[in-house]
A = this chain, B = another copy of it.
Amino acid sequence: MGDEGQGMTKPILRALAGEAVWPPPLWLMRQAGRYLPEYRAIRAEAGDFISLCINPKLAAEVTLQPIRRYGMDAAILFSDILMLPWALGYGLRFAEGEGPVLPPLRDAATLATLDSARVPGAIEPILETVRRVRVELDATRPGETALIGFAGAPFTVACYMVEGHGSKEFGAVRGMAYRDPALFGGLMDILTKATIVYLSAQIEAGAEVVMLFDSWAGVLPPLLFAAHVIEPARQIVAALRQRYPHVPVIGFPRLGGLSIADYARVTGVQGLGLDTTVDPALASALVPGPVALQGNLDPLAVEAGGPAMREATGKILAAMRGRPFVFNLGHGIVPSTPPENVAALVGLVRAA
């Protein structure tokens, strides 16, 4: 750490500093996951999902599996966006086949149970995972693979807490934002502050990049998007950049549509994640460098492989050549993806 010369700076860090690195660095959302047999073996050993997230030995191993297999340019901490509410003492469980389940947060009394003082202690096993992965990457992939830490963005975390589970539209969340802006604002404020604490701790533990996943940003109309997606991201980026000016932040306002250009400009992120629906050429025109774009191949094109994957990958590479860019998917790898399709994709991007 710190002893590499400029020529040894990891490709993804160069791209996130505004350099048009080519072929582009790549990693894939959910690159550590159920499509890999070695992941499924560890998952079976770990017990439930939360136990895996707070087991530094196993979580570090899972984080590193796709690096060993594919030599990705980034490892992303294996964890879950809902580990922050868990760290705040909020009930969380993962029900088999139906995703996360939490007690729905609908009143000030429940909001008052969130305990920010619990966070530093609760996240310790997650930070230990970060430390272990960083040590391993420094030993085995110096100058190559960077470590990305992450958190769910406050709005997306609030979505699950208020609704109590996943949803297509998150109507209860929007309803609360309209009907009781003080209550919803209070929740957003607690989550924004806790996210700054959480990401700062990941950086201190060795994360070289952090990413903010706003998976449900796309359910919001423009007024609420500005207030609950852009503004908290702006606050988080400002706080992190003040403390850690050399650690880039990637924002991912999924399905942000026409609002992604505003998001990039106002928040001051160094990288902008594009979801699958975004036309890469249009995004490139709307969001000029030095902001690096990251994305956005459809995971279903990787699952299909073959000519469909080649065509879609080629379109993205052609649109992004000559600008700061990190190749990725526009959403996570789906579990039914053949691992050999991922290998073929890595080959396509490396040959760009």
Stretch in A37-45, A148-156, A216-224 touching the partner: A216-224
Inter-chain CA distance A280–B174, complex, in Å, is: 19
Tell me if A55 counts as interface (CB < 8 A to partner B). Answer: no
Which of B258, B277, B298 is the one whose CB lies under 8 Å from A282?
A: B258
Q: Assuming A168-B168, A282-B258, is B178 touching A304 (CB within 8 A)?
A: yes
**Chain B contacts for A300, CB-based, 8 A:** 171, 174-175, 178
In the bound complex, do residue A304 and residue B175 qualify as a contact, i.e. CB atoms below 8 Å apart? yes
Query: Which A residues between 134 and 174 are near B, CB-CB below 8 angstroms?
Result: 166, 168-169, 171, 174
* Nearest CB in chain B to that of A225: its residue: B277
Name the residue on B nearest A260 (C-beta).
Answer: B258
List 10 interface pairs A-B (beta carbons < 8 Å), by A numbering: A168-B168, A171-B300, A171-B303, A179-B308, A220-B276, A221-B296, A222-B277, A223-B315, A258-B279, A258-B286
A53 at the interface (CB under 8 A from B): no
Binary contact track A37-65/B, C-beta < 8 Å → 1, others 0: 00000000000000000000000000000
Please name all residues of chain B whose beta carbon is closer than 8 Å to the beta carbon of A315 when the two chains form the complex: 222-223
A289 at the interface (CB under 8 A from B): no
Q: Other CB < 8 Å A-B pairs besides A178-B298, A218-B218, 9 of them?
A: A171-B300, A178-B301, A178-B309, A221-B298, A222-B278, A222-B315, A223-B311, A256-B257, A258-B277
Chain B residue with the shortest CB-CB distance to A276: B221
Closest to A180 in B: B304
Provide the bound-state CA to CA distance between A296 and B220, in Å.
12
Q: How far is the CB of A176 from chain B (nearest CB, A)?
A: 9
Determine if A344 is an interface residue (Cβ-Cβ < 8 Å).
no
Q: Is the pair A221, B312 in contact by a Cβ cutoff of 8 Å?
A: yes
- Nearest to A173 among chain B residues (CB) is B300
Q: Is the CB of A258 within 8 A of B255?
A: no
In the complex, chain B residues whose CB is within 8 Å of the CB of A116: none
Cβ of A334 under 8 Å from chain B: yes
